[in-house]
Structure 1
């Protein structure tokens, strides 16, 4: 396994080299002025060299301390981003739970339902085709959440909606009461269940019963 790259020793080494170079340059420049007689006249050269070296070291130390302070401030500024990221992740999880809860509540009265992804994977129904069916009332769809929809599985036969659903939805416009009627025994059909009759290609009888039901 490749050993993780650790940049801290390299950064410390680089900082040390920079400090020494700055120190050397400062001492050289000041010593030039001393040699020219512009500074500290009468002071022994070795003493001056030691004092200037100490001053240069202190200067570099303060520069390094300032760099560390600014680095810590930058790290502090990045902390709220981590908090926001965690908050967004928690919001996504809660939203997924809410959607799952909505789906379970629908299944309590509508039976098994599924979204476009499941229908495409399980029945091979493209999303574009499902959307076309939905726009033309060929399928019963229930809203789940803000914009998503789920579709009762019992209405599909061989990857297609049972014939007659469009006519039933034209007579019972609201999909919820329409599906409730389709999935309950109907006295107008001698106790038979309309959706099962549609799956048996008995659409004509179901449509007549739906017309009678809608008129009352």
Structure 2
């Protein structure tokens, strides 16, 4: 009897999972909601998207479509000299429990003016656990996907206030200020396949 290797297709467990959601608004409080089509590299039905984006600027609701986004995932490996390599995940990548991935989100301001403040939220898929490598510095984290606080998160464990282990995080959020016209910002984190 042949055993099924669910890691042979790295995207099978994630099919249908929403990888990101984009929300934009202005400083006066108007909000618009739009969907971003960025997904992990091929195949198309791959990961669906845990990314929320909120833009605050002086322009109209059209600013929601004026930020282009792209999400990538790379498998971290080491070459013969001990140098770390990022190998893009694609349909031929065979993931196994313990593999370390780096998720990177790229956001390009295509507004007619700079964006004063952009809030980017990336959720952490259920099939992986956060390891660290979070950039830029001073992000917010969430253990429930809804409530965010500065990292590291702290909570009561056995009646003592302690840091919550990264493996329990469900999302990471960044506040990015002053994104110039046609400037691209990158956010990233590393996670281990469960």
TM-score interval (norm. to shorter)? under 0.3
Specify which structure has the higher proportion of strand: 2
Decide which structure has the larger Cα Rg and report it: 1
Which of structures 1 and 2 has the larger relative contact order (alpha carbons within 8 angstroms, sep 6+)? 2
